[in-house]
Chain A
Amino acid sequence: MKATRREFMQALGVTLASLLLSRCRPACYVPAVTPPSGGTGDLWDDLRAPWEDLDLLARDAKDVEKGQQTLDRLIAGHRSALDALVESGELDSAIADDLQTAFEAAARHVWRANAPITCYTPALYPEYGVQGASDLARQAEILAEMAAQGDLNPETVAQAQASIERDIAFLTMPAEEQQALINAVVEAAGEGMDWPTLAELDLEIPPESVEAARILVQLLLEER
């Protein structure tokens, strides 16, 4: 399908913006806005400025609100520069409209390419880490309460409870055991500092710690 004039200008704008942001020298696009001979120069500089500020837009767009403000400012600035050129007789108004179409497409493309928006957050959480003691105690409390309501499979509840106790046991390890663990991690990492994940370590929680965890859970559930 043949592109319309508007689509052509939009594509041109996006292409120029891409060239600019890939550090292409302004010479790549100057022919499109080179002032005709006899031009004042200043007004054309005003028109060039928003294009040169596209990299600023790319940076500002990392913050949605700030980026939106810069986007609006650049589009308005470009329109205003065009209006001045038309008024001074240096530019035909129809051409000015096309230039604006190209710039708006360019600016919106740059904004979208950099704005931190997404409708899918894949949740890049760090490697497994033991949650804080208060969270673990709260988890145990809620688990016990919901299990008591009878809609949860007892085996599943038992496995979840065991994991909570294990994590509490980790937190209650004495300082020297934690240091031993750290040493084990450093040793496993080797000289290349290829840190293993917690899951890769062969952790053995001593029975005393497991018991301590159980006591702590019971304590916080006011069962002790």
Chain B
Amino acid sequence: MARPRLPTLIVEVTRACDHACCYCYNIWNHPDAPREGLPEADIRPLLAHVLDQVDCTHVTLTGGEPLLRPDLLQIVGFLAARDVRINLITNGHRLTDGLAAELIRAGVTLFELPLLSYRRSVHDGLVGVEGAFDAVLAALAHIRAHRGQAVVVFVATSVNIGDLWDTVRLAFAFGARGLMLNRFNPGGRGAAHLDLLPTVEEMRRALEVAEAATQEFHLPISCSIPIQPCLIDLSAYPHLGHGFCAAGSGRAYYTLDTAGNVRPCNHTPTVLGNVWEEPFADIIAPERLADFVAAVPAFCAPCARHDECQGGCKAAAQVCYGDLHAEEPFLHLNRELARPLVEAWPPALAGRGGDPCG
């Protein structure tokens, strides 16, 4: 039987973290999440067990904060020896010059670091730790000095969204190879901070800024967290990449924790199965994923683009409202602004103030 092909596998190498980001989506940081920890033992046998079963040449290491694992270099070296390209998602706080050099030499091909503002106070305020801004910029400088590559992640919240332009400039100046403009996606600790959600108008302005910035600085910018086309006409920003939920698609990024549990993505608590108990191919079989893939809010059923958009991030709906079929917060809180994308739009919605999206 052919091995399932995975474009990427997300591995949560630890739940520990030295930051306290108010926008954090880690499921174990949700107020109602179980408090038990996960094994922190050597995960190389687990990775070997999985990689033996799938055709996967790209792994993203995340956490928590991966740099808190004392054996991270060994994990990177192990993956590199298996010809796997490695992304490392880190807050950069512990990325010294020497460690950056070692990680790049060991095989990290891309670092993903948060850069939330060009202002120290804003960045540090959002991550809840003083010194984080200086640390992440130092990390970017170390990576570049050792000819590594980094992309920065700008989580757009109501607090920092106005800082986007200058933050892109700063990222560019530090040699970032791309920028991920992710609107705040409530989940984990962030589920208790819905006030951080930018408004539709703020998000529209941010996309305008990003569209201009990507051309000005030749910096690829992707908006991975879904933005519903009924709320904002994404065709107005042709130079940006726009993402939608990949669950069940050929680009799905399954998420593995240190206990061997597999989830459809790193935003959902839904566990599809455990790799120590059954084959990976069985865990990601269509019938196992069917409920997750099929979940689309009733509000979105008549929409012409519901197959593509699926209402946004269903994991956010699940975490915030307890139901995969619910409208996720960005849609739920802005549904009166949705513009009809089909003629047969629900009467309850049609005629509400015309088409605010122009």
Which chain A residues have a beta carbon within 8 Å of chain B's beta carbons?
7, 10-11, 14, 18, 64, 68, 71, 108-109, 111-125, 127-128, 131-132, 135, 138-140, 142-143, 146, 151-153, 155-157, 159-160, 162-164, 198-199
Contacts and interface: CB of A to CB of B under 8 A. Distances in A.
Given A118-B249, A119-B243, A142-B169, 20 more contacts: A114-B249, A116-B250, A117-B249, A117-B251, A118-B253, A121-B180, A121-B241, A122-B58, A122-B87, A123-B110, A123-B222, A125-B110, A140-B173, A142-B172, A151-B120, A152-B137, A156-B138, A159-B97, A162-B145, A163-B145
Contact of B87 (A111, A123, A143, A151): A123
A184 to B, nearest CB: 16
A68 B244 CA distance: 15
Contacts of A163: 141, 144-145, 175
A127 B170 CA distance: 22
A123 B177 contact: yes
Contact of A125 (B149, B172, B226, B290): B149
A160 B174 contact: yes
A117 B308 contact: yes
Contacts of A139: 172-175
B287 interface: yes
Contacts of A135: 217-218
A146 B169 contact: yes
28 contacts: A14-B286, A109-B286, A112-B249, A112-B293, A112-B307, A115-B308, A116-B250, A117-B308, A118-B224, A119-B244, A119-B313, A120-B8, A120-B246, A121-B180, A121-B224, A121-B241, A123-B220, A128-B148, A139-B175, A143-B174, A146-B173, A156-B134, A156-B141, A157-B141, A159-B141, A163-B144, A198-B147, A199-B105
B69 interface: no
Interface in B95-111: 97, 104-105, 109-110
Contacts of B178: 123, 125
Interface string B214-232: 0001101010111000000
Nearest to A162: B145
B60 A122 contact: yes
Contacts of A113: 248-250
- Closest 9 pairs between A and B when the two form their complex, measured CB to CB: A118-B251, A118-B246, A119-B243, A142-B173, A159-B141, A143-B173, A199-B147, A121-B222, A128-B147
B151 interface: yes
A156 B137 CA distance: 7
Nearest to A3: B287
Most chain A CB neighbours (cut-off 10 Å) among B10, B142, B169, B174:
B174
B155 interface: no
Contacts of B293: 112
Nearest to B255: A120
Contacts of B109: 127
A134 to B, nearest CB: 9
B147 A111 contact: no
A10 B289 CA distance: 13
A131 B174 CA distance: 12
Nearest to B293: A112
B246 A117 contact: yes
Contacts of B137: 152-153, 156, 160
A119 B290 contact: no
Contacts of B218: 132, 135
A128 B176 CA distance: 11
B170 A146 contact: yes
Contacts of B148: 128, 199
